[in-house]
């Protein structure tokens, strides 16, 4: 059973500068919520309430957003705005969130090592703080259900066109298990279109087991000498997958990586059009009516 999740958010957000110079990319609004709130709500809706967010000193707005604010709630009540007061109160109760500062070298393996000290000896989910996934069944729930079947590491996958392979980590598929589930033997990071081992991409959702964390711990010194001072989660997955089962699950839904300007605008546009209050008027505006 997956009870815990980790969200790494200590990155610089350099692809969105200067927009993210003072405002963390995870706090950019998509619809009427910041990006990271979409992710936390997705986890909570999937029954995962214990969440560790690995942050940097530049990301203080994130814990501020999810902290109780009784003074603001009281003032809203006085002003006759009880619905707004309740919305502020509710944000602070979505999940049980622990914050820790990232300590160590660059690379997405470092926050996993940091958080493992809190998570303990059990499998956990990893979602990135700048993704928005829209689906009838939350992405986290889909990954959780797959882990329940295979009890091994699971990567979220999506189909891609061959020409898009150089943008992603592409899995080496060993066996099609049916229902969008594949056994994989590793990931190839940003292969050329011609050399892509499959037409799927790993898209920022993982179920990580203690054995993967162990691989990160064992090989940290070795990787720091060869990976330009960075530690990557994919390296640990590849080492583990060479001798053990690892699976990829194609996720049903629409994925928005808000970490680039165009994709952020796409996510914002889609969320705005889908909003039950604002969407109809915006669709009329888009049609020039």
Q: In the prediction, which pLDDT does 217 show?
A: 85
3-state secondary structure 94-141: CCEEEEEECCCCECCHHHHHHHHHHHCCCCEEEECCCEEEECCCCHHH
**What is residue 55's three-state secondary structure?**
strand
Pairing of strands 131-134, 200-208: unpaired
- Find the mean pLDDT for residues 212-225: 78
Q: Is the pLDDT reported for residue 229 higher than 70?
A: no
Residues 6+ away with beta carbon under 8 Å from 82: 76
* Residue 223 confidence class, pLDDT cut points 50, 70, 90: low
CA distances, 246 to each of 70, 202, 236, 241, 280 (Å): 46, 13, 12, 6, 44
- Find the mean pLDDT for residues 256-271: 85
Give the domain 4-286 fold.
Spore Coat Polysaccharide Biosynthesis Protein SpsA; Chain A (3.90.550)
Q: Is the pLDDT reported for residue 262 higher than 90?
A: no
- From CA 153, how far away is CA 173, in angstroms rounded? 14
Q: Report residue 144: phi and psi, to 5°.
A: -60, -45
> Which H or E run contains 204?
strand 200-208
Gap between the terminal Cα atoms of the chain: 51
Q: Is the pLDDT reported for residue 243 higher than 80?
A: yes
Chain segment 173-187, per-residue pLDDT in tens = 999 989 999 999 999
Q: In the prediction, which pLDDT does 182 show?
A: 96
Q: In the prediction, which pLDDT does 224 show?
A: 61
Q: In the prediction, which pLDDT does 150 show?
A: 95
Chain segment 12-68, per-residue pLDDT in tens = 778 888 888 888 989 998 888 899 999 999 999 999 999 999 999 889 999 999 999
Pairing of strands 96-101, 50-55: parallel
- Identify the residue with better confidence: 133 or 122: 122
Q: In the prediction, which pLDDT does 106 show?
A: 77
* Residue 275 confidence class, pLDDT cut points 50, 70, 90: confident
For the chain, give the mean pLDDT.
89
Q: Read out DSSP for 147-196? A: HHHH-S-EEEEEE--GGGGGGSEEEEEEEEEETTEEEEEEEEES--TTT-
**Residue 22, token pair as written in the block:** 């003072």
């Amino acid at each position: 059973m997956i009870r815990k999740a980790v969200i790494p958010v200590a990155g610089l957000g350099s692809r969105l500068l200067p927009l993210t110079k003072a405002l963390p990319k995870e706090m950019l609004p998509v619809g009427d919520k910041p990006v990271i709130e979409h992710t936390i709500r997705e986890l909570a809706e999937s029954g995962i309430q214990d969440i560790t967010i690995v942050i940097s000193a530049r990301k203080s707005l994130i814990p501020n957003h999810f902290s109780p604010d009784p003074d603001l709630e009281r003032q809203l009540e006085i002003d006759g705005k009880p619905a707004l007061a309740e919305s502020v109160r509710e944000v602070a109760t979505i999940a049980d969130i622990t914050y820790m500062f990232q300590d160590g070298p660059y690379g997405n393996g470092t926050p996993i090592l940091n958080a493992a000290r809190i998570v303990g000896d059990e499998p956990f989910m990893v979602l990135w703080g700048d993704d928005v996934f829209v689906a009838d069944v939350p992405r986290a729930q889909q990954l959780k259900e797959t882990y329940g079947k295979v009890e091994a590491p699971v990567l979220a996958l999506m189909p891609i066109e061959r020409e898009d392979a150089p943008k992603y980590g592409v899995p080496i598929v060993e066996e099609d298990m049916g229902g969008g589930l594949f056994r994989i033997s590793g990931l190839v990071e940003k292969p050329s279109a011609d050399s892509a081992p499959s037409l799927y991409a790993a898209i920022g959702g993982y179920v990580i087991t203690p054995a993967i964390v162990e691989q990160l711990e064992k090989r940290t010194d070795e990787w720091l000498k060869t990976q330009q001072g960075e530690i990557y989660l994919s390296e640990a997955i590849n080492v583990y997958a060479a001798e053990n089962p690892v699976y990829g699950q194609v996720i049903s839904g629409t994925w928005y990586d808000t970490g680039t300007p165009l994709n952020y605008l796409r996510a914002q546009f889609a969320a705005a059009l889908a909003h039950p209050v604002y969407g109809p008027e915006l669709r009329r505006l888009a049609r020039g009516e």
